[in-house]
Chain A
Amino acid sequence: DTAVSQTPKYLVTQMGNDKSIKCEQNLGHDTMYWYKQDSKKFLKIMFSYNNKELIINETVPNRFSPKSPDKAHLNLHINSLELGDSAVYFCASSPEGKLGGNTIYFGEGSWLTVV
């Protein structure tokens, strides 16, 4: 009964390839996110969707394209992978409304290594 699940957990790929990471949440939350954690462990938001609508789009290269087919899924597609894309990508979700402070629940992370 995993709350936020993402696949694959580990991904090693060559520069220039295109890859996707999938994410699903079974918490009934309205908001989903992609965060990137680099080698310095800094966790930075990339995108946020609310009910399939893109609401936060930080300064991210347009090689990164999120897609939300429904409010329980948020996938991340990356084109023309570069060495600097190597990082851990965390999917997350949070409920709507201010009750409970919109706590963010994270998936286990996808370790991407570009060689």
Chain B
Amino acid sequence: GNSVTQMEGPVTLSEEAFLTINCTYTATGYPSLFWYVQYPGEGLQLLLKATKADDKGSNKGFEATYRKETTSFHLEKGSVQVSDSAVYFCALSVSGATNKLIFGTGTLLAVQP
């Protein structure tokens, strides 16, 4: 079946540190891949996406590259800020008709000043 596996948290970093949150997927067909972010007290927001192999999604300094050969979509940021503290969810969608999303379990990121 279709599934997403992401690294468990919490991830605790100091401000300006480099961030990587690993995400791998299993899917039939050709999925689109997403990173969503949930800030404290807010709803899920789309952070970035990639719809085909080798595409790179980017937003707010975050990047992720769709790697078909390793079935991965790791999230990276070169220099995190306290305001990046949130829960990050990797997700995939394999059905173009419904856009139904399948999520990973989420990774809590805590950035300390």
Question: Are A and B interaction partners?
Answer: no
Interface residues of B (CB under 8 A from A): none
